[in-house]
Structure 1
Amino acid sequence: MRTFDDLVTEAEAAPVEGWDFSWFEGRATEERPSWGYARAMGERLGQVGAALDVQTGGGEVLASAPVLPRLAVATEGWAPNVAKAAALLHPRGVVVVASPEDAPLPFADGVFDLVTSRHPVTPHFGEIARVLRSGGTYFAQHVGPASVFEVVEYFLGEQPADVRGARDPEGERRAAEAAGLDVVSLRAERLRMEFHDIGAVVHFLRKVVWMVPGFTVDAYRPRLRELHERIQEEGPFVAHSTRHLFDARKR
């Protein structure tokens, strides 16, 4: 059985760029949504002439598509991810644009047949609708409300109702419709996660930085040690992610 210090040191040294989660193999698990977002996204990309992937991360999900449209563009706001996405996607002809998540999309109106996104920090529906052509599609998988809050509240304490209720799918439906998108389908699921050692928790919080803002091992060492002992005594730390699938059309 590996020690607390050994597990934490290893997790602190692991790279966190991009959205490759292979480091968690054998150390954490997450149930996947039944709809198979990457596969469904790939099918749609093969049917359009111009597509934009917003907040692409390291480009891993977009790169999994078997066929890409003639014009394929991706945006990303975090510099290490921009470099990783460019290295992965440029060989496939994808243009990667560095664009802050809270800035207007740097494209003309009505350019794209399809806009996709997997786990955007914030879906800016007005900008998405603006760059879509009339009848174009927004197809995305969003993080839902109170996702993995078992982890969040272990470190930060119970969160207020407005924080727990953020990212509500029905609220996002209303925002999308106000921006000029008709929501054709909206599906939501709650999915089981397990963290099998404290290193997996540390790596998760270093990678998904908005879960516990400002997280460092030094700042939370006592709580981390307590959780390490709990996992050793009781087994995996169980949490639940929430996801919803958006399929919307521009009027």
Structure 2
Amino acid sequence: MSTTPHTDRSFDELIREAEEADVSGWDFSWFEGRATELRPSWGYQRLLAGRLAEARAALDLQTGGGEVLAGALEIALAGRRPGRAAGPALSAATEAYPPNVAKATALLHPMGTTVVAAPDDPPFPFADGAFDLVTSRHPVKAHFAEIARVLSPGGTYFAQHVGPASVFELVEYFLGPQPAEVRRARHPDDEAAEAKAAGLEVVDLRLERLRMEFHDIGAVVHFLRKVVWMVPGFTVEAYLPQLRALDEQIRSQGSFVAHSSRFLIEARKS
């Protein structure tokens, strides 16, 4: 991405633009030139494409606007070998947020994937053992007992999760220091233990912390409006003094630096 700052514009202009921007789905192109984030070294979408190419029946949980799954399906199609399908014969995705359901349906239905409007919490609206591949990118919570239920014997859960204390430099700027138990939440060791307790064998687990930079205050506002669990109940009005101070900091220092936390998990059902 380009890193050209937008700080030649006023605080009010940047805030207004960020408040008016669409935040549905998981398309992050709005941040082009305004924020950067390093990506995990493993390349989740590419690896997902390989898993989809070999699957018979696949389920993507909490698919957002379907952008990641669609991209993986496109990669699988581009790499299709003669005589082989480009993806699973049965492909489904779930999403709870109505604007995202509409976006995902428009994107994924033409690719042969059914989008089911369903809550993130159990029970999933699928039969026992219905899928040999269950996937998810950045689920709010992975419900491993339910994932194990819908996986067929020998099936795989393959996902990229948000790890512990992700972007906490920004979280703690607005909310103050967080207790140890909050900082440890989403730890890969804890989630691996949950997977094992549900009867899954964890065969891969990798964690990385990745540098992020916000180059203008509008990028911060857009991020907090889009990733709503970072600062619950965030509004510009509620945090106006902090936003003005952060705007001055970014203008003087060039960016606000934080670090995202991501882990890859692969678990199989015996």
| Short-chain TM bin | over 0.9
Structure 2 contact 122–143 (Cα < 8 Å) conserved: no
Q: Which amino acid counterpart does residue 87 of structure 1 have in structure 2?
A: A
- 2:232 aligns to what? 213
TM-score, normalised with respect to structure 2? 0.92
After TM superposition, give the deviation of residue 68 of structure 1 in Å.
2.6
Q: 1:99 is matched with which residue?
A: 118
Identify the residue that residue 61 of structure 2 maps to in structure 1. 54
1:44 aligns with 2:39: no
* Counterparts of residues 59-138 of structure 1 (less than 5 Å): 59-64=66-71, 65-66=73-74, 67-138=86-157
Distance in 1, matches of 2:155 and 2:69, equals: 18
Q: Aligned partner of 1:178: which letter?
A: A
* Paired letter, 1:171: D
Paired residues in the alignment total 251
**Could you say which residue in structure 2 is the equivalent of 1:190?**
209
Structure 2 Cα separation of the partners of residues 4 and 217 of structure 1: 12
CA distance in 2, matches of 1:68, 1:20: 23
The whole-number CA distance in structure 2 between the counterparts of 1:146 and 1:68 is: 35
Please say if residues 156 and 268 of structure 2, whose CA atoms lie closer than 8 Å, have aligned partners that are also in contact: yes
Mapped to 2, the partners of 1:24 and 1:68 lie a distance apart of 31
Q: Specify every segment of 5 or more residues in structure 1 that has no aligned partner in the other structure, as ranges.
A: none
Structure 1 segments of 4 or more deviating over 4 A? none
2:14 alignment partner in structure 1: 7
One-letter amino acid of the structure 1 residue matched with residue 52 of structure 2: L
Distance 1:171 1:51 in 2: 25
Q: Which amino acid aligns with 2:69?
A: L
1:247 is aligned to 2:266: yes
Question: Is 1:151–2:142 an aligned residue pair?
Answer: no
Structure 1 residue 69, shift from structure 2 partner: 1.0
SS of alignment partner, residue 186 of structure 2: coil
Report the identity percentage.
71
Q: Cα offset for 1:147?
A: 0.1
- Which of the numbers 38, 42, 53 marks the counterpart of 1:35? 42
Matches of 1:25 and 1:68, distance apart in 2: 31
Of residues 11, 24, 33, the one that matches 1:26 is 33
Specify the SS of the correspondent of 2:159. strand
Q: State the distance in 2 between where 1:43 and 1:14 align.
A: 34
Note the C-alpha offset of 1:213: 0.3
Match of 1:233 in 2: 252
1: CA distance between counterparts of 2:67 and 2:114? 14
Cα separation, 2, equivalents of 1:80 and 1:126: 28
Give the aligned residue type for 1:103.
P
* 1:108-163 CA-partner distances (Å, limit 9, x unpaired): 00010100000000000001000000010000000000000000000000011111
Q: Larger deviation: 189-198 or 95-104?
A: 95-104
Is 1:222 the counterpart of 2:241 in the alignment?
yes
For 2:24, what is the secondary structure of its paired residue? coil
How many Å apart are 1:104 and its aligned residue? 1.1
Structure 2: which 5+ residue stretches go unaligned? 1-7, 75-85
Aligned-partner SS, 1:103: coil
Alignment partner of 1:249: what SS? strand
1:17 is matched with which residue? 24
Give the match's secondary structure for 1:210: coil
- Amino acid corresponding to residue 61 of structure 1 in structure 2: V
**2: CA distance between counterparts of 1:236 and 1:68?**
41
